[in-house]
């Protein structure tokens, strides 16, 4: 299956396969071989999909959006692209809720959990994993969104639709349109919109670092580079600026 099987937005090069090990692995190899920016690989099923911290990403074949997107850009802008994809994904899901097919009175609100999980009522809707090559100035952003099925304790879009729920292809089309629009905005606008959707800020969090360390404190802000600023709980009030880690929301900081 190729991009000719669907009316994809202009300037996107979409390839859809029935099954692969990992869309991130495949598209990274394509990037090294010279694939253009805005190349996209969508799979109906992944046999070796991975999430953050090398966790397995679960999905039933054909039910969810499993996709990777390739961006080529200046090295200092590569870090902004996962946030653009997260913001676009949240916006695309929210717009699908406005289609009038919901089984609830009002559309649920999609929020982001740093670094880039999608949440509905603190249940996980989607997650992201990015891999890149700074020397060759590209990044591959992989994202999985629960459209028709979700693991236990997670949530899927289909739970909120009374009749025909959106398909993974429909969601991807909307997401690519959103990315195109966001890429036209300034870095300041992108950052402000990302921060506005962030559920992590103002909460007490536990951050599990990639080196095995753990920090517990109040998530105070996100800087323009996308790093999370956490002030450690206790008498010392140590301030940490965190590049990457796994975040658990504990409770609202202003409620103790």
The count of domains in the chain is 2
What is the value of pTM for the model shown? 0.90
Q: One digit per residue, pLDDT tens: the chain, 256 residues?
A: 444 457 899 999 999 999 999 999 999 999 999 999 999 999 999 987 555 545 555 667 789 999 999 999 988 889 999 999 999 999 999 999 987 678 877 889 999 999 889 999 999 999 999 999 989 999 999 999 999 999 999 999 999 998 788 999 999 999 999 999 999 999 999 999 999 999 999 999 999 888 888 999 999 999 999 999 999 877 667 899 998 888 888 865 444 3
Q: 168 and 73 in one domain?
A: yes
Other CB atoms within 10 A of residue 235 CB: 6
Q: Which range of residues forms the domain containing residue 59?
A: 3-196
Q: 93 and 41 in one domain?
A: yes
Q: 247 and 134 in one domain?
A: no
Q: 191 and 207 in one domain?
A: no
Q: 236 and 169 in one domain?
A: no
pLDDT at 57: 58
Q: 143 and 34 in one domain?
A: yes
Q: Is 211 exposed, middle or buried (0-12, 13-18, 19+ CB in 10 A)?
A: exposed
Q: 105 and 13 in one domain?
A: yes
pLDDT at 96: 93
Q: Report strand pairing: 39-46 vs 13-20.
A: parallel
Q: 246 and 165 in one domain?
A: no
pLDDT at 1: 44
Q: Is 121 helix (H, G, I), strand (E, B) or coil?
A: coil
pLDDT at 217: 92
Kindly report the CATH number assigned to the domain that includes residue 192.
3.30.930.10
Q: 126 and 212 in one domain?
A: no
pLDDT at 53: 46
Q: 212 and 179 in one domain?
A: no
Q: What is the DSSP string of 205-250?
A: EEEEETTS-EEEEEEEEE-TT-PEEEEESSSS--EEEESSEEEEEE
Which residues are CB-contacts of 52 (< 8 A; sequence separation ≥ 6)?
115, 127, 128, 129, 246
Q: 87 and 16 in one domain?
A: yes
């Amino acid at each position: 299956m190729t991009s000719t099987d669907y009316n994809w937005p202009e300037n996107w090069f979409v390839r859809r396969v029935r099954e692969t090990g990992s869309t991130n692995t495949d598209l990274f190899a394509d990037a090294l071989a010279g694939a253009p920016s805005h190349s996209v690989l969508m799979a109906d099923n992944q046999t070796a999909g991975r999430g953050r911290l090398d966790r397995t990403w679960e999905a039933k074949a054909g039910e969810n959006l499993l996709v990777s997107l390739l961006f080529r850009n200046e090295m200092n802008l590569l870090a902004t692209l996962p946030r653009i994809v997260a913001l676009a994904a949240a916006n695309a899901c929210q717009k699908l809720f406005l289609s009038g097919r919901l089984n609830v009175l009002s559309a649920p609100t999609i929020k982001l959990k740093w670094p880039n999980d999608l949440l509905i009522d603190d249940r996980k809707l989607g997650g992201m994993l990015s891999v890149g090559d700074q020397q060759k100035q590209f990044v591959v952003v992989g994202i999985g969104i629960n459209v028709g099925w979700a693991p236990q304790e997670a949530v899927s879009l289909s739970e909120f639709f009374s009749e025909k729920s959106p398909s993974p292809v429909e969601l991807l089309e909307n997401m690519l349109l959103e990315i195109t629009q966001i890429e036209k905005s300034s870095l300041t606008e992108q950052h402000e919109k990302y921060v506005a959707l962030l559920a992590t800020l103002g909460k007490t969090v536990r951050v599990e670092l990639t080196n095995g360390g753990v920090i517990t404190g109040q998530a105070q802000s996100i800087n323009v580079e996308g790093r999370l600023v956490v002030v450690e709980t206790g008498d010392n009030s140590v301030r940490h600026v965190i590049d990457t880690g796994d975040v658990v929301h504990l409770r609202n900081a202003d409620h103790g």
